[in-house]
Chains A and B, each alone.
Chain A
């Protein structure tokens, strides 16, 4: 049974970047904006975080840099789609492609660098409790932040007036405009939050998960984060469950190989994506739930009517 603690720890580290990015995208989508550039924003966040940490020696500065970089990426997207009203799907795809190339360009000088991973929380006595100690009290602060963020977003959407306004903009931008809310401003803010969280998710990869830089190191996690938002039917509680389930599946493939289970490794690496497809099909069959939680205006450009 001694494998169980390390196993759970790797599940947590595999899930955290997904949860961070998906939480941001959930807020973006709730405002009616579909930003498919999560993968690109994560990569740019990852390299910004790594480069600043490696040059300055301060992980805090690196994390701030990742947030700023992710936000700037999302601002490009917001300007193109909200101000210039470009198509959101095409712009999001372009943003991902741009992020892949741009991060590789900036990161070429950092390949092979090593940094110290983010320090884990260590409370004398408590962190040493068997099993629970390392799992609950031995993580780095981004893990706690990811949980706090999703709880905060859940509270914000369910309880706060600003959250209600955000959902209103995503549900019917014309009605929101008629009542007097600034649709474009609210969508800018939501998109920027999404960018910041994606940048943070990227930074977690390059500063904690694997403290190094490698080209295209997100390896599709941005896309899984996007699928997670739909999987969760835009509800933060389910987002946590989804992120951890995907984390579990992706870690299982490594452990299955380690345990000598004879399943083709290709099949195991396919699992998270297969699960995404199956889950999306199941979710889509419940129309009432989709209807209630999906932002009705998602992906539509808003033009103030006469």
Chain B
């Protein structure tokens, strides 16, 4: 059945090539790339016209990243050719690609942590430039496109959103003719996304072709004029996103019907399971955000969202809740099921039934060089009884990992695969699955679906809803407001290390959240008296 679809759609892609008037900016013809054990790209063809914003859609592992690497010269195709402005070209290295005018914003940032923003930008420039002249250019581009960045900050002190700005500025400085963006908006606020889109539209008007890879299909719909859909390394179709719905495109990507997360019966909230009271904490990082008087309560069965622009204290909050920062705060400023835990490390908090999923998968959520079953063991050995008398129980450990892989549909060669070999979305499914299957009383999860495709994201959302239905208190730290609206019962907003009062989801508009994200000072005073009753009312209404 799959074969039939492929032949018909290759024909379709072929037909596309006749349409353009002049030569395409880039035409990909029959590109094939095999890795040991998998055919990552199988006879891929499509073309991008100058000034066109072209979406590349596909699930994790569909071959998008491989294709991007081939276009950017990081990898060489086994077969097929690339036609640039009408001429066949060989792109032997990223240097060649930049020379031709191809810019790439990486999904997993290609940044150097201990270097400054300016140094990072200089490294990706082909021509050697005077640092002072470069600084001026950087500031100019930042101003023109509204991407504020301090050129002298060290990257390791920056939030994910700020890091992405570096990559974008880096590309814009080279006046690209083709700009490739891999998941660019996953860490931006709605306002930032709108700004980015303005930038991209302006670039397109200036004649720059844009290849846009995203899982956020309504963004694709708003921005792109054409889309090529990949599945399993093959082109399975093309469409005009403006004439499709997000749902129809998602279904084209995953090749089956998509179901919206089922929120189930209105849930009864139980007792408070995670309580934070008056938590103030200096950040342990030089340019971090200090937490200032954080208060929140999450009840059993409740999913609370923490919204906010990256770098407003969310990382510090996560580390404080997970017990990763050494605490000087009063022990009872954080309580899990009524027990004061602020002076506990992560292991003792886990013993009380709390589990944590950090934002960064490789290196924080998982050890990249270890196998999946070893990674499963690392956080679950106590709750899942994977260890006995100080030894690893091999069989249950492997079957726990196998269970995660099966339940959460993790695409991998098996539980022996290294965590680092999985694509971002698949590893995320594994890590989320590992914590959820431990049946926690409290789950704190940061950016649950960052860089994860629609199919996987909806699976993760469903799993979180199911978990809450079983009485778990779930705290979701996310910059994705759609996500917060899709699954959360209530929301708090972080800005500059402070947190707004919780609001029931049903009562709060996206504009209000946007205002809160901008800073709490204006709204703080006037809200206090009326607020608690409002929240109660909202909750009663839902219950």
Encode contact with A along B119-139: 1 for CB under 8 Å, 0 otherwise. Answer: 100111000100000000000
- Is residue B74 within 8 Å, beta carbon to beta carbon, of the partner chain? yes
Residue A179 contacts which of B110, B156, B286 (CB distance < 8 angstroms)?
Answer: B110
Question: A288 to B123, Cβ gap below 8 A?
Answer: no
Question: A293 to B114, Cβ gap below 8 A?
Answer: yes
Question: B122 to A161, Cβ gap below 8 A?
Answer: yes
Encode contact with A along B38-81: 1 for CB under 8 Å, 0 otherwise. Answer: 00100000000000000000000000001000000111000000
Question: A168 to B115, Cβ gap below 8 A?
Answer: yes
| Count of inter-chain pairs, beta carbons less than 8 A | 58
Question: A296 to B74, Cβ gap below 8 A?
Answer: no
In whole angstroms, how far apart are the Cα atoms of A243 and B93 in the complex? 42
A306-B112 contact in complex given A161-B128, A180-B73, C-beta closer than 8 Å: no
- Is residue B111 within 8 Å, beta carbon to beta carbon, of the partner chain? yes
Q: Considering the complex, which residues of chain B in the window 89-117 have a beta carbon less than 8 Å from any beta carbon of chain A?
A: 93-95, 97-98, 106, 109-115
Question: B114 to A291, Cβ gap below 8 A?
Answer: yes
Task: Classify the secondary structure of A's interface with B.
Answer: helix
- Is residue A132 within 8 Å, beta carbon to beta carbon, of the partner chain? no
State how many angstroms separate the Cβ of A288 from the closest Cβ of chain B.
6
Chain A residues with Cβ under 8 A from B113's Cβ? 171-172, 296
Chain B residues with Cβ under 8 A from A168's Cβ? 112, 115, 123
Residue B94 contacts which of A179, A288, A292 (CB distance < 8 angstroms)?
Answer: A179
Residue A164 contacts which of B73, B122, B286 (CB distance < 8 angstroms)?
Answer: B122
State how many angstroms separate the Cβ of B276 from the closest Cβ of chain A.
27
- Is residue A167 within 8 Å, beta carbon to beta carbon, of the partner chain? yes
In whole angstroms, how far apart are the Cα atoms of A168 and B97 in the complex? 20
Question: A291 to B156, Cβ gap below 8 A?
Answer: yes
Question: A292 to B128, Cβ gap below 8 A?
Answer: no
Question: B114 to A306, Cβ gap below 8 A?
Answer: no
- Is residue B154 within 8 Å, beta carbon to beta carbon, of the partner chain? yes
Question: B94 to A172, Cβ gap below 8 A?
Answer: no
Question: B123 to A178, Cβ gap below 8 A?
Answer: no
Question: B119 to A172, Cβ gap below 8 A?
Answer: no
Chain B residues with Cβ under 8 A from A179's Cβ? 94, 110, 123-124
Q: Smallest CB-CB separation from B112: which chain A residue?
A: A171
Chain A residues with Cβ under 8 A from B98's Cβ? 180
In whole angstroms, how far apart are the Cα atoms of A294 and B112 in the complex? 12
- Is residue A175 within 8 Å, beta carbon to beta carbon, of the partner chain? yes
Question: B111 to A172, Cβ gap below 8 A?
Answer: yes
Size range of the chain B interface in the assembly: 20 to 34
State how many angstroms separate the Cβ of A170 from the closest Cβ of chain B.
9
- Is residue A135 within 8 Å, beta carbon to beta carbon, of the partner chain? no
In whole angstroms, how far apart are the Cα atoms of A65 and B75 in the complex? 41
Question: B286 to A178, Cβ gap below 8 A?
Answer: no
- Is residue A227 within 8 Å, beta carbon to beta carbon, of the partner chain? no
Q: Considering the complex, which residues of chain B in the window 405-452 have a beta carbon less than 8 Å from any beta carbon of chain A?
A: none
Q: Smallest CB-CB separation from B75: which chain A residue?
A: A306
Task: Classify the secondary structure of B's interface with A.
Answer: loop
Question: A171 to B114, Cβ gap below 8 A?
Answer: yes
Question: B94 to A296, Cβ gap below 8 A?
Answer: no
Chain B residues with Cβ under 8 A from A180's Cβ? 73-74, 93-95, 97-98
- Is residue A9 within 8 Å, beta carbon to beta carbon, of the partner chain? no
Question: B110 to A175, Cβ gap below 8 A?
Answer: yes
Q: Considering the complex, which residues of chain A in the window 72-114 have a beta carbon less than 8 Å from any beta carbon of chain B?
A: none
Size range of the chain A interface in the assembly: 20 to 34
- Is residue A165 within 8 Å, beta carbon to beta carbon, of the partner chain? yes
Chain B residues with Cβ under 8 A from A292's Cβ? 114, 154
Chain A residues with Cβ under 8 A from B124's Cβ? 179
Chain B residues with Cβ under 8 A from A167's Cβ? 112, 114-115
Chain A residues with Cβ under 8 A from B97's Cβ? 180
In whole angstroms, how far apart are the Cα atoms of A181 and B75 in the complex? 13
Question: A178 to B106, Cβ gap below 8 A?
Answer: yes
Encode contact with A along B156-174: 1 for CB under 8 Å, 0 otherwise. Answer: 1000000000000000000
In whole angstroms, how far apart are the Cα atoms of A69 and B119 in the complex? 36
Question: B123 to A165, Cβ gap below 8 A?
Answer: yes
In whole angstroms, how far apart are the Cα atoms of A294 and B97 in the complex? 31
In whole angstroms, how far apart are the Cα atoms of A178 and B120 in the complex? 13
A175-B66 contact in complex given A292-B154, A306-B35, C-beta closer than 8 Å: no
Q: Smallest CB-CB separation from B124: which chain A residue?
A: A179
Q: Smallest CB-CB separation from B40: which chain A residue?
A: A306
Question: A172 to B73, Cβ gap below 8 A?
Answer: no
In whole angstroms, how far apart are the Cα atoms of A180 and B94 in the complex? 5
Question: B119 to A178, Cβ gap below 8 A?
Answer: no
Encode contact with A along B342-373: 1 for CB under 8 Å, 0 otherwise. Answer: 00000000000000000000000000000000
Encode contact with B along A286-306: 1 for CB under 8 Å, 0 otherwise. Answer: 001001111010000000001
In whole angstroms, how far apart are the Cα atoms of A168 and B122 in the complex? 11
Residue B74 contacts which of A165, A172, A178, A288 (CB distance < 8 angstroms)?
Answer: A178
Question: A175 to B112, Cβ gap below 8 A?
Answer: yes
In whole angstroms, how far apart are the Cα atoms of A165 and B262 in the complex? 51
In whole angstroms, how far apart are the Cα atoms of A172 and B75 in the complex? 19
In whole angstroms, how far apart are the Cα atoms of A288 and B73 in the complex? 36
Chain A residues with Cβ under 8 A from B94's Cβ? 178-180
In whole angstroms, how far apart are the Cα atoms of A294 and B110 in the complex? 19
Q: Smallest CB-CB separation from A292: which chain B residue?
A: B114
Encode contact with B along A188-216: 1 for CB under 8 Å, 0 otherwise. Answer: 00000000000000000000000000000
In whole angstroms, how far apart are the Cα atoms of A119 and B213 in the complex? 67
In whole angstroms, how far apart are the Cα atoms of A179 and B74 in the complex? 8
Encode contact with A along B385-402: 1 for CB under 8 Å, 0 otherwise. Answer: 000000000000000000
In whole angstroms, how far apart are the Cα atoms of A168 and B124 in the complex? 11
Q: Considering the complex, which residues of chain A in the window 171-188 have a beta carbon less than 8 Å from any beta carbon of chain B?
A: 171-172, 174-181
- Output the residue of B74, B95, B98, B123 with the most chain A CB within 10 A: B123
> When A and B form their complex, which 9 residue pairs have the shortest distance between CB atoms, in order from nearest?
A180-B94, A175-B110, A178-B110, A171-B112, A180-B95, A180-B93, A168-B112, A179-B124, A161-B128
Residues of A with Cβ closer than 8 Å to B? Answer: 161, 164-165, 167-168, 171-172, 174-181, 288, 291-294, 296, 306
The contact sample of 29 A-B pairs, CB cut-off 8 A, is A161-B122, A161-B128, A164-B115, A164-B119, A164-B123, A167-B114, A168-B115, A171-B112, A171-B114, A172-B111, A175-B109, A175-B110, A175-B111, A175-B112, A176-B112, A176-B123, A177-B74, A178-B94, A178-B106, A179-B94, A179-B123, A180-B73, A180-B74, A180-B93, A180-B95, A181-B123, A291-B156, A296-B113, A306-B35
- Starting from the known contacts A168-B112, A175-B111, A179-B124, 4 additional A-B residue pairs (CB-CB under 8 Å) come to A167-B112, A168-B115, A171-B113, A179-B94
